[in-house]
Amino acid sequence: MCMTKSELEKKVAELRSLKALKEETESGIREAERAIIEFLNETEECEAIDNKGKPIRQYIGTDYKATYSMQTRENISKEAVKNLLNEEQFASVRTESTFGVLRIK
Spatial contact of 59 and 43, defined as CB atoms under 8 Å apart: yes
Contact 72, 80 (CB under 8 A): no
Looking at this protein, which amino acid is placed at residue 12? V
pLDDT in the model for residue 36: 97
With vertex at residue 55, the alpha carbon angle to CA 54 and CA 57, rounded to the nearest 5 degrees, is 135
What does each of the 105 residues of the chain score in pLDDT, given as a tens digit?
Answer: 689 999 999 999 999 999 999 999 999 999 999 999 999 999 999 999 999 999 999 999 999 999 999 999 999 999 999 999 999 999 999 999 999 988 888
**What global pTM score does this model have?**
0.74
Which residues of 1-105 form beta strands (DSSP E)?
Answer: 47-49, 55-60, 65-68
Answer for the pair 57, 69: CB distance below 8 angstroms, yes or no. Answer: yes
